[in-house]
Amino acid sequence: MGSKTTSTDLGNDTLAYTICPYLPPRVNSDGIWGYLFDRVSNPLNYSLTRLNLELITVFLVTEACHFVLKRIGMTKLVSQILAGIILGPNMFVHLSGKDVRILFTIESQELVDTITHFGYLVFILLTGVKMDVNMVLLTGKNGLYTGIASLLTPLVFGLSGVVNFSASRRLPREHKFALVNFVALQSITPFPIVSCLLDDLKILNSELGRLGLSSALISDVLSMFLQVITTLAIGGVGHGKLKQASGTFAGVLLYLVFVVKVIRPAMNWIIRRTPEGRPVNNGYVYAIILYFVASTVIFQLVGIPSFFAPFILGLAIPDGPPLGVSLVEKLDCFTSGVLLPLFITTRVMKANFADIQYSSDFLQVSSIITAIVVVAKFIGSMIPSIVLKIPKRDMLALAFIMSSKGVVDLVAVSFVRDNKILTNDIYSFMVVVILAIAIITPYGVKYFYDPSRKYAGYQQRNILHLKPNAELRIVATIHRPDNVAAILNLLDATCPTKERPIALYGLHLIELVGRATPLFISHRMQRRVLIKNSYSENIIAAFSHYEQDHWGTISANVYTAISPPRLMNEDICMLALNKLASLIVLPFHRKWSEDGSLESEDKKLRMLNSSVLERAPCSVGILVDRGFLGGSNSLVSSAQSPLRVAMIFLGGNDDREALTLAKRMASGANITLEVIHITHHSDKGISNWEKMYDSEVLKDVKSGSIGSRNVSYREEMVDDGPNTALIIRPMGNKYDHIIVGRRQREASPQTSGLHEWSEFPELGVIGDLLATTDIIGSFSVLVIQQQKV
């Protein structure tokens, strides 16, 4: 038996203990029956038995709390913190009159801390795995400005408060230093906390959620940078910290380079080696876990904070299937269900609210500084939203998201407490603050966030606002084999070039039948295996051949979504949001034969199109193929027979978007474009902003300066809707492809009297006229709705 001396904190005093561990360690007990009948050693004297009992106790108390609290909308974090309060000295000792160390002994503390710390590192790893850095960073200036403001605003006001109150209260130097750390801890917005909150609220993949993730990531990166700069500056003064800080910075930088150049390509290699639709080989998963443990140990040995290694490694692992999903499935359940609750609970158990000295100047100043930092952070998070004109309710919801606190904050506060920077009463006070914010934040987000705006964008994602030579990103949905030919022929008409390329994301939608859960497959990364149940093989082959034939101008990717019809709109909108698409192309629910006669219609597809029109994060086009695109004809014909395209322009956002796409088509040598501007005698002159915008977008078409000789402009003046219908009906035999704006709920004299006869509101009045069975001919129509902001 050996002995060692350790210490623990009770209140504001430090108590020393002499612990006599058994050698060899006592792990497995003889069981409860041996203790009762043979009077051998108490089972609780054995480490494994005590650990199991501690896990069971924490689990039961946490689940009991959550069983009650989830009914009023509380998150799991609140239940875990309350479990720590119940099992800690605050309630357990008060109610039972017994020392809390009866179960959670000093001897078991090191073992529990080691296991829970490992669980926390796995949690950080999985947080990195679940996020897509590229998509988050592409959120744009909104996330950048919000992340910077949410960190610097509370930091500036908090440090100003520290200077003023420290001088007025004449606090000692060590208290001033503690308050500076206190402000820094309160000002950060940890990315894992925001990610967990958004996941709990089921808005992780919404536009607001992505903005929150982007802002938190920027805030985290900036806080790390400021931390390194501050450490270097302090090290320059003395104490030999400059060399240590420089070594830490260089070590993290070298590890980042190694991950980018070696680990990330290795992860992509694993994905390419994995057959489509199959899970990743367990050997690869175990190798990644082994590397995670080794990198964490190395970081710890060289003096770099150990949480850097798993987070950077997690970012290097591609999210989603197959690799990211395999890791999450194997590690997430045990980590989030067992290790993390134990970690949070044992940390909270160290807080003793009875020892908080409410009359001390230090605590009073800390309370005031906390209020200043929380308010400044909330307001600072809103300032960029106000400038960028984000809707008020979303702005307030974002401010609550950026003000959230959780397990990372608890770890940070626990760390500075263990290093004697903060006293126990301040630590207990901070636990109360974290609990209060953890309770308030979800309610604030739920109150202000509108779920119907899940895919609403804060950036212009449409064709009109694309830069002249920017890549046009299109999501095209495929339901039937003939949709493939229609989509690819339409793509030909948009005239992609190396200067103006197109990224096509084909989404094959299959109704969920005979499966328990929906499935979303990316066919780009994984090695394809031709098996009987391999989905979308013909579509993949068609897109692949098309990409090879247009190398350098077209990049094509195919996805398969197997889901119920009511959820297909989620798959479409999510893919468009993830890929930052400017246009979604949907096939019309009616199918015509090559001779122009109606063949069939799909009511489920019509409902799906209507849902996408309401919720899409970008512009939407409904493609009505009246036997021209999906047949044997090629949309871009030979030079002897050019494609005849017409664009019907009445005015408004949708028509301007449609005209912008038509201009893009006009750059092709084998395409003729005629813009038909239908006007009313009341339209003379520019009477408002909308008319001015219409005039501006038509200017180059009218003047012939569009850069193509195959573009013509014709103006038709009408008195009412029937006159407009007389102009439109003969177009089926005159043009091969017609582009119109949806113009839903836009009243104008040119369409008066036509709304009452409209059969398909999703096409708008003009599109409905062209889709009616009264018009005979083989042609196609593209109805455009500009992004709703």
What would the pLDDT profile of 595-654 be if each residue is shown by its tens digit? 666 677 888 889 999 989 988 889 999 998 876 665 544 555 444 567 888 999 988 889
Q: What's the rounded mean pLDDT across residues 409-415?
A: 82
Q: Are 479 and 625 in contact (CB under 8 A)?
A: no
CA distance 357 to 705: 78
By DSSP bridging, strand 519-522 and strand 583-587 are unpaired
Q: Please give the mean pLDDT across all residues of the chain.
A: 79
Q: Note the pLDDT tens digit of each residue in 52-92.
A: 887 888 888 888 888 888 888 888 888 888 888 888 776 65
Model confidence at 21, in pLDDT bands (50, 70, 90)?
low
CA distance 299 to 309: 7
- Which residue has 């993290």 as its token pair? 252
Q: Are 52 and 463 in contact (CB under 8 A)?
A: no
Which range, of 218-232, 398-412, 481-495, averages the lowest pLDDT? Answer: 218-232
Q: What's the rounded mean pLDDT across residues 107-115?
A: 76
Q: Are 587 and 620 in contact (CB under 8 A)?
A: no
Roughly what angle, to the nearest 10 degrees, separates helices 106-130 and 191-200? 80
Residue 247 has pLDDT above 80, yes or no: no
Instruction: With H, G, I as helix, E, B as strand and everything else as coil, classify residue 168.
Output: helix
Residue 594 has pLDDT above 60, yes or no: yes
Model confidence at 42, in pLDDT bands (50, 70, 90)?
low
pLDDT score, position 619: 92
CA distance 399 to 310: 28
Q: Hey, which residues does 10 pair with through a beta bridge?
A: 13
Residue 19 has pLDDT above 70, yes or no: no
CA distance 749 to 746: 10
pTM of the predicted structure, to 2 decimals: 0.69
Distances, alpha carbon 548 to alpha carbons 528, 530, 670, in Å? 17, 20, 21
Residue 489 has pLDDT above 70, yes or no: yes
Read off φ and ψ for residue 462, nearest 5 degrees.
-145, 175
Q: Note the pLDDT tens digit of each residue in 334-348.
A: 888 888 888 888 888
Q: How many residues does the chain have?
A: 789
> Which residues, at least 6 apart from 322, have a Cβ–Cβ distance to it below 8 Å?
271, 274, 278, 279, 280, 526
Residue 94 has pLDDT above 50, yes or no: yes
For residue 45, which of 67, 76, 61, 22 has the smallest C-alpha distance? Answer: 22
Read off φ and ψ for residue 164, nearest 5 degrees.
-70, -50
